[in-house]
Amino acid sequence: MAPNRTEGASVGTSGLEIDRISKRYGDVVALREMSFTVDAGEMFGFVGSNGAGKTTTMRIALGVLAADSGEVRFGGAPLDLRLRRRIGYMPEERGLYPKMKVDEQLAYLGELHGMSHRDARAAAQRWTERLGIAQRRRDAVEKLSLGNQQRVQLAAALVHDPDVLVLDEPFSGLDPVAVDVMSGVLREKCDAGVPVVFSSHQLDLVQRLCDRVGIVRAGELVASGTVAELRDSGPVTLIVDAPDAAPGWADALPGVTALATDGTRTTLRLEPGTDDQSVLHAALATGPVREFTRHRPALTELFRNVVTEEPAA
């Protein structure tokens, strides 16, 4: 349905390339030739129903799970151990040691990624301050609320100053202030040239934050593009108030479906590519037109359309 410039990842980008990744778990086909790229400085929202394949893709992108076929590249090079260490990853199942103190844990993770003890401690301090958890630094992780544990988890993904960020549902369960803090940090990283990909079921947030979005259904990327491109590719809704028009005045117009009538106002759905000016002419032919409003679908609506379409045979 949508412009899909990510299909068949281009070669040699400075970003992250997921190139025709397939994965099965026994009889379950989790991914079928999944492809997309996340360029340097770009925030990519990865959305799809439960079980669509987002976590599997992200685990393969990080290298903790092997694909059956396909390749993950970063900066044009296939992912190896050295490049893997340059990824900041926030796993869906969260991966913190519950009994370890916040600052010790972050410093330890920094050292695991090759930082000196001193740099790792400084980074732990910096990120706990930036993420609003400085006062909990000396507490064991298990004593923190779930939202604050999630902030620690983001700090864990950032502590080694990664070149790529791959985050599995980083916003789930966060309060609005924490959402703002986290979005601010991700935007800063993007602006510094880091490719950021995150999965989310919060589509309003994805629409607001992401430069590009990929919609996955049953292991395949079925739509991708900027939010504007995706919204332009979906059906447009028109509200037309033509008081003198007879009922059914728009029924014969090609590509137009009347969805509802409220007094003299009619809500029409236009198939992609239908010229709204021909609808305006038809409305004017009936008499005065008091309202003519065009609505593009929100990402939530597009998502519903895309994920409920029949999968390709």
Ligand X SMILES: Nc1ncnc2c1ncn2[C@@H]1O[C@H](COP(=O)(O)OP(=O)(O)OP(=O)(O)O)[C@@H](O)[C@H]1O
**Which residues make up the interface to ligand X (CB under 6 A)?**
25, 28, 30, 48, 50-56, 92
* Min dist. Cβ of residue 141 to ligand X (A): 22
Question: DSSP of 91-125, one letter per residue?
Answer: -TT----TTSBHHHHHHHHHHHTT--HHHHHHHHH
Q: Does residue 266 contact residue 258 with C-beta atoms inside 8 Å?
A: yes
- DSSP-assigned letter for residue 25: E
- CB-nearer residue toward ligand X: 38 or 107: 38
- CB-nearer residue toward ligand X: 23 or 212: 23
Query: What is the rounded CA–CA span in Å between residue 288 and residue 149?
Result: 60
- CB-nearer residue toward ligand X: 9 or 221: 221
* Min dist. Cβ of residue 22 to ligand X (A): 12
Query: What is the rounded CA–CA span in Å between residue 18 and residue 15?
Result: 10
- CB-nearer residue toward ligand X: 60 or 158: 60
- CB-nearer residue toward ligand X: 251 or 310: 310
* Min dist. Cβ of residue 202 to ligand X (A): 12
* Min dist. Cβ of residue 203 to ligand X (A): 13
Phi, psi of 29 (to 5 degrees): -85, 105
Phi, psi of 11 (to 5 degrees): -95, 135
Instruction: For 286-304, give one letter per residue: b (16+ CB within 10 A) or e.
Output: eeebeeeeeebbebebbbe
Query: What is the rounded CA–CA span in Å between residue 238 and residue 243?
Result: 15
Query: What is the rounded CA–CA span in Å between residue 260 and residue 237?
Result: 11
* Min dist. Cβ of residue 218 to ligand X (A): 8
- CB-nearer residue toward ligand X: 48 or 235: 48
- CB-nearer residue toward ligand X: 46 or 108: 46
* Min dist. Cβ of residue 31 to ligand X (A): 8
Q: Does residue 234 contact residue 223 with C-beta atoms inside 8 Å?
A: no
- CB-nearer residue toward ligand X: 59 or 136: 59
* Min dist. Cβ of residue 67 to ligand X (A): 12
What the block records as the tokens of 151 is 């902030």
Decide: helix, strand or coil at residue 179. Answer: helix
* Min dist. Cβ of residue 76 to ligand X (A): 26
Burial of 226 (0-12, 13-18, 19+ CB in 10 A): middle
Centre a 10 Å sphere on the Cβ of residue 125 and count the other Cβ atoms it contains.
15
- CB-nearer residue toward ligand X: 20 or 265: 20
Q: Does residue 306 contact residue 52 with C-beta atoms inside 8 Å?
A: no
* Min dist. Cβ of residue 50 to ligand X (A): 3
